[in-house]
Amino acid sequence: MSNIILDTLQGKKTDRVPVAPFINVNYIDEFYGEHNMDRVAKSIEVYKHFGFDIIFRNSTVNYLDETALSADNWKVTSTRTDISEGDHDVLTVIETPEKQLRQIKQYRTNTPFEVVEACVEYYIKDASDFAQFVKYQPPVPVYDCSDTARAREIIGDTGCIAPWGQGVFNMVSMHRKLDDLLIDPYLNRAFYGDMMRYFGDRMLEVIKQYKANGADMVSCGGNVAAGGVVGADYFAEHILPFEAKFFGSINELGLYSIYHNCGDASHLLPLYPQIGMSMLESLTPAPYGDTDLAFAMDTIPKNITLSGGFDQITLLREGSAKQIRSKVMQMMDILKKRGNFIFATTDYFNENTPEDNVFEFARAAHDYGQY
């Protein structure tokens, strides 16, 4: 059976534009009205319910959980403090033979089915903290990737499995405060480069496990170094070389890769092809980003698949069927001239999105997406 997602990634001719929006677990939970369910099977059911093609992402392992690595020279303890109903903070302390490392994460209930998290204290406050990671952090463990394997079994060859990882800069930003990370290349270039290589290599070890359990793609966050944060010159000098090497390693593993930037990207688009990703998302237009679809079509070469572009924040939630259908038609008129596009929203579906609107989005994409 032909896999329209893989055919598109390989530049093969298809009879229509694939339609594979990013559906996160918050929407799955809202759709079924409960939190504790089989998210693998239920996610796939929701894709099929709307007639979407499948890029399945809901089998990510928690590779940032240091408690899984606790050892004699890397003793990890976590303490939870409840703030209010549904909201809490977690203090994680790592004890090495030389010093103590601390991280505080805040977890806040954003909607009834979505909890957002953010670091307010980071492990790596200076170069000596990073030295502890290099010297004492245990190797990447064997993670439970059974959800990826089970998704592969259910989906078979009719879709793609693409659990989440991170691009290199994103990965380092989860260990060091962004303000400090951005100036590290100027103050201590060797320290910055060592962090980028170290955490990039660890991310690759997780990605290898995804592949071993049936993944054929990996989704990699690149949103931290979005266009509203860094300029083109900074990106070209301090981020691009590391991302290009990292994505080159993913290619060598025989995996397809997604580079995900759901924010501003217009002045970075000319640089993105040098990263070497298989697919670039999310082409976010104003007012939530600054990407013009036609410009992206012209700027990104056809060996890279494009995806995204449809507003799920306002239009999909609040628009009429006529407005949704009109926007889909307008976008298809542009993107079909180039081809090699997977139609999707600019990020995951928000809660309180009417089911009828999602159906209209899917129907219009199939109606107007015929080549």
- Residues 118 and 155 grouped into a single domain: no
**Is pLDDT above 90 for 15?**
yes
Which range has the worst mean pLDDT, 1-5, 55-59, 233-237?
A: 1-5
- Residues 199 and 178 grouped into a single domain: yes
**Is pLDDT above 90 for 36?**
no
For the segment 84-119, what is each residue's pLDDT rounded down to a tens digit?
988 999 999 999 999 999 999 999 998 999 999 999
- Separation CA 141–CA 126 (nearest Å): 26
- Residues 218 and 103 grouped into a single domain: no
**Is pLDDT above 50 for 55?**
yes
- What average pLDDT does this structure show over 342-354? 97
- Residues 251 and 118 grouped into a single domain: no
Single residue among 110, 139, 168 that ends a domain in this structure:
139
- Residues 37 and 161 grouped into a single domain: yes
- Residues 74 and 95 grouped into a single domain: yes
Share of the chain above pLDDT 90, in %: 98
**Is pLDDT above 60 for 1?**
no
- Residues 335 and 363 grouped into a single domain: yes
- Residues 127 and 273 grouped into a single domain: no
> What is residue 85's predicted lDDT score, i.e. its pLDDT?
87
Average pLDDT of the chain?
Answer: 97
Residues near 343 by beta carbon (within 8 Å), at least 6 away in sequence: 17, 18, 19, 20, 21, 307, 309, 310, 328, 331, 332, 335, 365, 369
State the residue range of the domain holding 84: 66-139
pLDDT band at 124; cut points 50, 70, 90: very high
What CATH number did the domain enclosing 34 receive? 3.20.20.210
Share of the chain above pLDDT 70, in %: 99
**Is pLDDT above 80 for 57?**
yes
- Residues 16 and 121 grouped into a single domain: no
- Residues 168 and 314 grouped into a single domain: yes
- Residues 135 and 149 grouped into a single domain: no
**Number of structural domains the chain divides into:** 2
Q: How many CA atoms lie within 13 A of 59 on its CB side?
A: 34
Count Cβ atoms within 10 A of the Cβ of residue 272 and give its class: 0-12 exposed, 13-18 middle, 19 or more buried.
buried
Single residue among 109, 124, 139 that ends a domain in this structure:
139
For the segment 169-218, what is each residue's pLDDT rounded down to a tens digit?
999 999 999 999 999 999 999 999 999 999 999 999 999 999 999 999 99
For the segment 227-244, what is each residue's pLDDT rounded down to a tens digit?
999 999 999 999 999 999
For the segment 260-306, what is each residue's pLDDT rounded down to a tens digit?
999 999 999 999 999 999 999 999 999 999 999 999 999 999 999 99
**Per-residue tokens: 130:** 């990073």
- What average pLDDT does this structure show over 312-317? 98
Single residue among 139, 174, 189 that ends a domain in this structure:
139
Cα→Cα distances 69→123, 136, 358, Å:
15, 10, 41
**Per-residue tokens: 260:** 């995900």
- Residues 135 and 146 grouped into a single domain: no
